[in-house]
Structure 1
Amino acid sequence: MHSLDLYAKTAIDAYEEGGSKRLNEYLIDIQSDALTSAVLLVDNSDAAASPMPPGAVDLLARARSEKRSEYSFDSTWLGVVRQTHGDHVYFFIAQVPQVKMFGNYVDPEKGPFRTAFVLVISAALCGLLARSITKPIRSLQRTAMDIAGGDLTARASPALAGRTDELASLAHDFDRMAERVQLLLEQQKLLLRDISHELRSPLARLTVSAELVHRGDLAAAARMQADIKTLETMISDLLTLARIDASDKHSRRESIHIGRLIQQIVKDASFEGEAEAKTVVQTGVFDRYISGDTGLLHSCIENIVRNALKHTPGAGVVEVNIADISNFRGPMIVITTRDEGTGVPEEALEQIFDPFFRIASQNSHKQGGAGLGLSISKRIATLYGGTVAAQNLPGGFQVQLCLPAAVNRIGRGLS
């Protein structure tokens, strides 16, 4: 009843500023607008000289006895507001008109029936509201249970067609998650199938080579060694993939001097290419930093460089260039690896980053590798918010790796 307190204060101010005349004007004004009747008593007198509302005598006596404001919500809604100003105690007595929300439908004198009617209407409205909320939630629950039961094609959005509220948005996000889970599981099945296929060939050759060695064919031992090397490389790559899957963008990172990391990779690749007079050179900026796991980033870049080295002809040159760019994602480090190989068909430029993908015209055994190197590079780049793309060049081929730079370390070298 805070509004009665405000009426009481205004009435007291009117009385103290303009006497009974000003008070009566104010009381007449509020009685025609908001209250059925209103009276202001100063101590024990009726300052407005107007009759009190029915039933107010007992309420006033209680307010005086308890020295506090009193209210009644029986057949008549009354309020006696007690306020003290200076040496005077004021009692503002007001009759509040009852709210007849359903006055056109029920008799306002029949309180119990009116209350029951309001409760029935409220219950019906609450039931409709609860149904509109629980129905999509149950649909979402059924979809979740279907997915848990193995039906990865189950979706929640169709059952909520036509809705544009938060529950529809939740169902849309849930479906996006379900699609992502379905895609990841399908990719996992495909990867396991490819792994089993790739392992079968070297294992079969090892079985034959072992039998030949057992018969005294020592030349087969060299073949065994090559197949063992292939298996070793494949297992190492698979462990790297598992390590990537176990990592996420919130994993512990360190500030990596990318120039020095690539310098070591170039040095190792140059040593590997000496037998065929291949050269690997590093160009561009040097003192740049990337935040991440040193081992993963080393694998990411080394796989690209070694792939370029393998496809560059004898006496050819592989260039590893480091550059700065800035795009909508912020400062980036671009590592471009160019070789002098024959390139790949245009339609295969994206497929070369798929696990175990090989160009049909290439002799994969001669080239070596397990077909996972570029796939690992792409996975690591994606993990750190970067991209990797391939492009054919006149007389060569390049792979461009783009990774977010450690902003606070750009342009600074190690002390």
Structure 2
Amino acid sequence: MPLSLTARLALLFALLTAGLLIVVGIVLGRAVERHFDELDAHELAAKLTLVGNLVREAGAEPEQHLDAAFAGQHMVGLLLRTTDGSMLHAIQPQAFTAAQRAGTALNEGGETWHEAGREFIGREIGLAPDAAGGEPLRVAVALDISHHAHFLDEVRRGLWLGISAAALAAALLGWLAAHRGLAPLRRVTTTARRLSADGLSQRLDEAGAPAEVRDFVDAFNGMLARLETSFTRLSDFSADIAHELRTPISNLMTQTEVALSRARSSEAYREVLASNLEEFERIARMVGDMLFLAQAENGRLPRPVETVQLDDEARALIEFYEALAEDRGVKITLAGQARVTGDRLMLRRALSNLLSNALRHTPAGSTIGIDIRDADEAADGMATLSVSNPGDPIPSDQLERIFDRFHRASDERARKGEGAGLGLAITRSIVLAHGGDIRAASADGQTRFTLTLPRAAAAGSVPPSHTGAAT
């Protein structure tokens, strides 16, 4: 099982503390050991100097002087012998090994050995004869350093126990610090477990969160806000599409049931099929519009790279709606010109939606005006296209919502509409995909939709301005 983040941090604290204390312990232990080595070497040299002085002062019989000098010093051993290894006198001879007692010389630089479970350090030096003509001698001194070794062992044992205790304490403190510091992450986990499509309103509390986690908390709360908005839109969209599809489907079912209720002529069946075809076309348009909006929201619309002459596209649409405008007794006028960068078909669709919407709500005998202004005339350096018409006003609280899918500004305007309520939403998606903006204004019986689009980068001559009309 992989370790948790808290356990990993606690283990890291313990390892770092133990490693640091081990280094300190090694340095301290070696310093103490070196200090004792220096003390032992100094004491050994002092003993050898003392023996040499006593032997030279005592003359032919130094044994009594040596016994007196080393009386009660049980930690010191001494061998006095001739140059051929013959023993003359010994003090604490058990401090030496059998070979050393038998005549094996010690290293003049010093050496260490163990005897009878004790540790010794010793040196052997030669003594020059005195002026009276005595013979040269050799003296070996052994010093018991078991107490120093025992002390060093106790120090090492204490260091290891202290290092172990400190590592455990560091692990515990590290675990507590990590556990407390990671509390916001646990709250994130708890909140995430409670999340559902109906409970996206929950937010994490930033109070008490450390600086390293605060950015994560902010990002997580922002994600929840975006999810809540998306789910709300999706829920509203699902409800709206279900409501909009229910009418044509209900019509299809009713007409089919009526047609099947009794035998009818082929002409009657043809009429029913023709009526059903209209409903199918309405559903197909609605599905196509929804797919277009889905592509727009996911940034999958074609990239606008063409140079489009707005007045030419507006003129072509005026000719297209000419017959419908004549039937309703409405005039369409065009003024101004501009060249923008965009997708010609999408911009024509956006303008067509605005004209279609204006024709539905413009009373007979009135005029729909299309006003185009180039970037040279606009203060913000963008080309604008406005479609205005007289008619039922749009309430001020509905002006921002009329671009939502399936939204109808009022019951009066809804009764005059024939679409599914997706035209203005599609228009806004097209304009936003072009890097522009769309706004609506309605006052004094006049409604105006204004598109703002980026002007074409390449400068060129354009046809002269003129006004076209269809009656």
Q: TM-score normalised to the size of structure 1?
A: 0.59
Q: Are 2:109 and 1:153 equivalent residues in the alignment?
A: no
Match for 1:241 among 261, 272, 293? 293
Which one has the largest radius of gyration?
Answer: 2
Aligned pair 1:135/2:187, yes or no? no
CA–CA distance in structure 1, aligned partners of residues 284 and 183 of structure 2: 55
The Cα shift of 1:253 comes to: 4.1
2:412 equivalent to 1:362 = yes
Supply the distance in 1 between the matched residues of 2:187 and 2:411 (Cα, whole angstroms).
52
Residues 120, 150 of structure 1: alpha-carbon distance in 2 compared, 3 angstrom cutoff? same
Structure 1, residues 126-181: CA drift from partner, whole Å, max 9, x if none? 4455335433233323433443x6564264522x4233624222212221222221
- Report SS of the residue matched to 1:288: strand
Shift of 1:398: 0.8
**1:387 maps to which residue?**
437
Give identity over the alignment, percent.
Answer: 23
* Paired letter, 2:248: P
Structure 2 residue aligned with 1:91? none
8 Å CA contact 1:353–1:374 kept in 2: the answer is yes
Letter in 2 for 1:233: R
Query: What is the aligned partner in structure 2 of residue 196 from structure 1?
Result: 242
Per the normalisation by structure 2, the TM-score is 0.53
- How far apart, in 2, do the equivalents of 1:299 and 1:334 lie? 16
- Single out whichever of 186-195 and 341-350 deviates more from structure 2: 341-350
2: distance between equivalents of 1:412 and 1:376?
30
**Pair 1:397 & 2:447 matched:** yes
Query: In the alignment, does 2:305 pair up with 1:254?
Result: yes
Q: Secondary structure at the match of 1:343?
A: coil
Post-superposition CA distance 1:62-112 (Å, at most 9, x none)? xxxxxxxxxx99639xxxxxxxxxxxxxxxxxxxxxxxxxxxxxx9xx977
Matching residue of 1:184: 230
Other structure's SS at 1:306 match? helix
Change (3 A) 1:112 1:221: closer
Change (3 A) 1:323 1:201: same
- Asked whether the 8 Å contact 2:309–2:339 carries over to 1, the reply is yes
Following superposition of structure 1 onto structure 2, how do residues 221-300 of structure 1 map, counting pairs within 5 Å?
Answer: 224=276, 226-247=278-299, 252-257=303-308, 259=310, 260-290=312-342, 293-300=343-350
Give the Cα–Cα distance (whole angstroms) in 1 for the partners of residues 177 and 230 of structure 2: 38
1:383 and 1:252, CA in 2 relative to 1: closer, same or farther beyond 3 A? closer
* Preserved CA contact (<8 Å) 1:255 1:406: no
Task: Name the structure 2 match of 1:322.
Answer: 372
For 2:362 and 2:191, locate their aligned partners in 1 and report how far apart those are by CA, in whole Å: 52
For residue 303 of structure 1, the aligned residue among 340, 353, 358 is 353
Distance 2:204 2:253 in 1: 53
**Aligned AA for 2:438?**
V
Q: Which has the higher contact order (CA 8 A, sep 6+)?
A: 2
1:331–1:407 CA contact under 8 A, matched in 2: no
Matches of 1:349 and 1:242, distance apart in 2: 23
Question: Per the alignment, do residues 351 and 141 of structure 1 end up closer, same or farther by CA in structure 2, a change over 3 Å counting?
Answer: same
* CA 227–362 in structure 1, closer or farther in 2 if over 3 Å, else same: farther
Alignment counterpart, residue 408 of structure 1, candidates 457, 466, 469:
457
Letter in 1 for 2:209: R
Change (3 A) 1:141 1:300: farther
Count of residues paired in the alignment = 303
CA contact (8 A) 1:143 1:154 kept: no
The change in CA–CA distance for 1:298 and 1:166 in structure 2 (over 3 A counts) is farther
State the distance in 2 between where 1:212 and 1:325 align: 59
Aligned partner letter, 2:228: Q
Alpha-carbon distance between aligned partners in 2 of 1:386 and 1:129, rounded to the nearest angstrom: 52
The whole-number CA distance in structure 2 between the counterparts of 1:184 and 1:359 is: 23
Structure 1 residues 152 and 386, CA gap change in structure 2 (3 angstroms): farther
1:113–1:412 Cα change, 3 Å: farther
| Structure 2 residue identity aligned to 1:143 | T
- Structure 2: 5+ residue runs without aligned partners? 1-26, 33-154, 464-471
Q: CA RMSD in A?
A: 4.1
- SS of the equivalent of 1:161 reads coil
- Is it true that 1:332 corresponds to 2:373 in the alignment? no
Find the aligned partners of 1:222 and 1:189 in 2 and give their Cα distance.
34
Q: Which runs of 5+ in 1 are unaligned?
A: 1-71, 77-106
Matched, 1:377 2:427: yes
Q: Match of 1:299, SS?
A: helix
Q: Distance in 2 between matches of 1:298 and 1:344?
A: 24
- The structural deviation recorded for 1:304 is 1.9
Aligned-partner SS, 1:397 = strand
| 8 A Cα contact 2:392 2:413, kept in partner | no
Alignment of 1:168 with 2:214, yes or no, is yes
Preserved contact between residue 203 and residue 224 of structure 2 (Cα < 8 Å) = no
Q: 1:270 to 1:115 in 2, by over 3 A?
A: farther
Residue 310 (structure 1) shift? 1.8
Q: Tell me how far 1:269 sits from its aligned partner.
A: 3.3
Distance 1:386 1:244 in 2: 14
In structure 1, the residue corresponding to 2:182 is in which secondary structure? helix
Change (3 A) 1:364 1:151: closer
Shift in CA distance, 150/234, structure 1 to aligned 2, threshold 3 Å: closer
Alpha-carbon distance in structure 1 between the residues aligned to 2:349 and 2:240: 21
Describe the SS at the equivalent of 2:339. coil
Q: Distance in 1 between matches of 2:176 and 2:383?
A: 57
- Which amino acid letter does the alignment assign opposite residue 305 of structure 1? L
SS of 1:163's equivalent? coil
